[in-house]
Chain A
C-alpha cells in the first residue's frame, strides 16, 4: 500500500493557486458525499504531482500537477468546496 499524508501537506502548493487557505475549507466528495475539512483528506505526494483522495471512499478528489510553465488543477472529484467569507 502506498503511504499517504493529509491535506495539510498541500497547503503551500494550493496557496500558489488560491489566495486563501484551502486546507480549512469544507470539501464534499462527489463520489460518496462525505464532507470534511480539506486538511483531513488523504494526500499522495509520490505521484507526478499531488493527488488528494477521499478518506471515506478513496475516490480522487483533486489533482495538482505543476510543469515548468503551468499548474494543472483537476477538481473533478469534488462536488464543492465551502470557504468562510472574510
Chain B
C-alpha cells in the first residue's frame, strides 16, 4: 500500500463530500468519498484545487485527518479538516459553502516524510499547535487502530478549550493526552505556551527514543523543535511540518 501511495503519476480526482462535521466555531471536517483512492499513510496530505467560473484556479494543501483504513471494519474515508483563515482564498468556500453531495478536486496522497507507518517500532510523541493537530490525529487514529495506544503521547497546544479539534474523540481516547492552553483554560490549569517544563512533564523522555512529530505554525514548530533538541531528543528522530495560511499552506 505504501508503495502504491508514493509512486506513479499524480492525477486529479473528483471526490464527493459525503458528510460534514463541525469541529469548532471555525473548523469543520469534510468527509470525502474518493473513487479509486489508493489509500494513504497517516500524516500525508492532499492538494485541493478550486476552479472559479472564469477559469481562475487556486490550490492549497490539506492534511488528511483520517487513518486508512479509517475503522476496524476497514472503512475507507478521506477526512479533511479545514480551519477558516481570515481573508483566505480557499478556506471560506471549504469552511462555509461546500456541502454534502458537492464535488471537490483533489490529488494525492502526497508526502513521505511526515508519516507514521504501523511497522515503525517504538514510542510516538505527537506535538501539535492549533490546526497542526490534523495530521497528528491521523497518526493517533492509525496507531490506535494498530493497538499501539501505549506507545502514543500527545501534547496539544491550543488557545482555549473550545478551539480543540476532535474534542469528543480525544476525551474518549486511551492514549496519554496533555493540553497546553495559551489564552484561556479550565480553572486551575496553567495558561501558557509549551516550554521546557511542559515538555519534561508531558512528553516522552528523550531516553526512550520516541519518534517525535511536530506540526503547527512555523514559529511554533521551530520553538518546539529547539526545545526538544535542547532536552536531549535526537534531531534525527524529530519530524516537523509547518502549516501556514500563505499560498501553499493548509
Contacts and interface: CB of A to CB of B under 8 A. Distances in A.
Interface residues on B, range: 20 to 34
Contact of A10 (B112, B243, B244, B248): B248
Contact of B114 (A4, A8, A19, A46): A8
Given A20-B6, A45-B249, A46-B247, A5 B218 contact: yes
Interface in B1-44: 6-10
Given A15-B10, A16-B10, A40-B240, A8 B111 contact: yes
Nearest to A2: B246
Nearest to B217: A3
Contacts of B107: 12
Contacts of A4: 218, 242, 244
B115 to A, nearest CB: 9
A5 B6 contact: no
Contact of B244 (A3, A16, A19): A3
Interface in B180-202: none
Contacts of A6: 240-242
A5 B110 contact: no
Nearest to A15: B10
B240 A45 contact: no
A46 B10 contact: no
Given A12-B47, A12-B61, 8 more contacts: A5-B246, A11-B112, A15-B10, A15-B110, A23-B110, A45-B244, A45-B249, A46-B246
Interface of A: 3-12, 15-16, 19-21, 23-24, 37-40, 43, 45-46, 50
The 7 closest A-B pairs by CB, nearest first: A45-B248, A39-B113, A11-B110, A21-B112, A12-B47, A45-B247, A24-B112
Interface of B: 6-10, 45-47, 59, 61, 107-108, 110-114, 218, 239-244, 246-250
